[in-house]
Chain A
Amino acid sequence: MGKRSILFALPAFIIYSALLIVPILLAFMLSFTSWTGYAANPIHYVGIANFIDLWKDEKFLHSIWVTLRLVLVVTLGSNALGLIFALLLNKSGKLTNVFRSVFFVPFVFSTVAVSFIWSSIISYTGVINYLLGVVGLETWQTDFIGNANHAIWSISIIEIWKTVGFNMVIYLAALQTVPAELYEACTIDGGNARNKFRHVTLPMIVPGISISVLMSVINEMKQFDLVKVITDGGPGSGTETIAYHIISQAFGYNLLGYSSAIALVLFVAVVLVSIAHLSITRRFEVES
């Protein structure tokens, strides 16, 4: 087979480098300055001052906490539900297809649409409080987004609702990789449904779990949209995620250097988490 011309990779390489890699390098350089973004202002080099300020910035520290909660709750929720739904829907049939669609359609919606649909449900005068009123539980009526603690849970649940279809599809695909002979062998050995799941299904879908969990983790670490539309980080700064903090520092306060520093920290965190995740799952795959 002859050598492939490197020209094939050229268009993608140019666009990708110019608009993704170069910006990252620029952000890296900006993070050592106190630039505010106006061309007329000179750019001052401030060393690692931005990176030191970070750890004194209570809002940033709080945003880490918010983001961690989101990552944890959504990754667990979306993957557990996604796997359960996939197991239940892993057969053909008309109704199965309809059910799959119901779970997947929310993933097709834009965050903006999802946010507005849900705001009608969780608003203080919304559907949930309406239902509580109908059954006479007025005292249970809750302020689902006006309180930071409730708001993070609300956002997590909405995000799970939106993303579960995606995880389900990955798990469905992974389940199809399990050869039917293995199940037969397990049945012959006298295994019941639980044995089948533990000793056949689970080990075979480790790659699927790995990808699905990693995608959830990475996406939630970058979470911005939902928070922006539903609470705008509020009440106060109660639900500001790291990505929200980055955008507001840059586009709200014009602290571009500082914002770039936070973004860089987030980038490194995502890379580290990905490496850690993949080395863990690889060990799993080897063991099973």
Chain B
Amino acid sequence: MRAGRSTFFIRMILLVSVVLYAIPLYLSIVNIFKTTDQITLNPFAIPSSLNLDNLTYVLNNPNVHLYKMYLNTLIIAVSATLLTLLFTAMAAFYTSRSSGKLSGILHVYFIMGIMVPYAIVYIPLVIIFRDFHLIGTLHGLILVFISGNIPFAFFMYHGFMKTAPRELEESAAIDGAGQFRTFWQIIFPLLKPCTTTTAIFIGLSMWNDFLTPLLIGQVHTITLGIYTAIGPHSTNWGQMFAFVFFGTFPVVVAYLFAQKQFVSGLTAGALKG
């Protein structure tokens, strides 16, 4: 009896929280398909018909260059994520496998970056970028994103490698394979689980960042583009939600794919435990 009642309470609490959490998400989906009048009348109503006007408005808006913004963002997020992962995995391989004083110093040096408030870096970066003519370029922004995400990625990789077994690489060393080949062929694939999680986090942060492209790059990424374009539309909620939709649906889709890994990662851990 008692147990039954407490589970009931737990379920109720959970249900209420989930509903409260889901309301903003629900609103931002259903209202894409309504006119402003319909939204004002009842924001919660399920759209009576699939009205695509808001979406086509954004697609046809001459001031919104969706295709270009997506392309820019994709180029930046993908290449910066891949390079960050590769460089950081290499660095963490060194620090986690060398026991010298130097590797200890490097460890602290890389991790320190987590605490840097990024606001401190913008001004000097603008100065450096001016001298190298990197402002407004995609590769400039990519470099900034790499440097900014190295600390977190390093944090993840270093910790993971410390606990990873070393037998394989030792046997590879006995085989006489070069260090770099060992790393590329044996170590890096072993890091895949860690790579996945890290990639999700830093990829997301790059996709969603609007301040860095605004202040340093002046590059039209999707998030910055939406931020710039949405201003005059804050009266028309339907259009606003359509803008939000275009800004977020790629990451939500990406997350829904990655979520499987997330969950199976968690369950795998539970089974092991």
Binding site for B on A (CB under 8 A): 1-6, 8-9, 11-13, 15-16, 18-24, 26-27, 30, 37, 39, 81, 85, 88-89, 92, 97, 99-106, 108-113, 116-121, 125, 127, 130, 161, 169, 172-173, 176-180, 218, 221-222, 224-225, 228-229, 242-243, 246-247, 250-251, 256, 259-260, 263-264, 266-267, 270-271, 274
Which residue from chain A places its CB closest to the CB of B265 in the assembled complex? A173
Binding site for A on B (CB under 8 A): 10, 13-14, 17-18, 21-22, 24-25, 27-28, 31, 40, 43, 87-88, 90-91, 93-95, 97-98, 100, 102, 106, 109-110, 113-128, 130, 143-144, 146-148, 150-151, 154, 166, 170, 173, 179-180, 183, 204, 207-211, 215, 223, 226-227, 230, 234, 237, 240-241, 243-244, 247-248, 251-252, 255-256, 259, 262-263, 266-267, 269-270, 273
Identify 6 new A-B residue pairs, CB closer than 8 A, beyond the known A8-B91, A112-B230. Answer: A2-B179, A4-B93, A20-B151, A112-B223, A113-B223, A120-B31
Residue pair B166, A99 in contact (C-beta under 8 Å): no
22 contacting pairs across A/B (C-beta < 8 A): A1-B170, A1-B173, A3-B100, A5-B180, A19-B144, A22-B124, A24-B124, A26-B124, A26-B128, A88-B14, A97-B259, A97-B263, A102-B22, A108-B204, A110-B210, A112-B208, A116-B241, A130-B40, A222-B117, A243-B117, A246-B120, A267-B120
Contact of A271 among B25, B115, B207 (CB under 8 A): B115
State the CA gap A229–B94 with chains docked (Å).
Answer: 41
The total of Cβ contacts below 8 Å across the A-B interface reads 248
Contact residues of B: prevailing secondary structure: helix
Which residue from chain A places its CB closest to the CB of B268 in the assembled complex? A176
State the CA gap A102–B255 with chains docked (Å).
Answer: 12
Residue pair B128, A9 in contact (C-beta under 8 Å): no
Known interface pairs A102-B25, A263-B117. Does A108 touch B255 (Cβ–Cβ under 8 Å)?
Answer: yes
Contact of A12 among B90, B170, B207, B269 (CB under 8 A): B90
Contact residues of A: prevailing secondary structure: helix
Residue pair A108, B251 in contact (C-beta under 8 Å): yes
Contact of A15 among B98, B126, B128, B150 (CB under 8 A): B150
Which residue from chain A places its CB closest to the CB of B255 in the assembled complex? A108
The 10 A-B residue pairs whose C-beta atoms are closest, nearest first, are: A110-B208, A19-B147, A263-B120, A23-B124, A26-B124, A12-B91, A8-B94, A12-B87, A176-B269, A9-B91
Contact of B21 among A21, A161, A169 (CB under 8 A): A161
State the CA gap A260–B123 with chains docked (Å).
Answer: 8
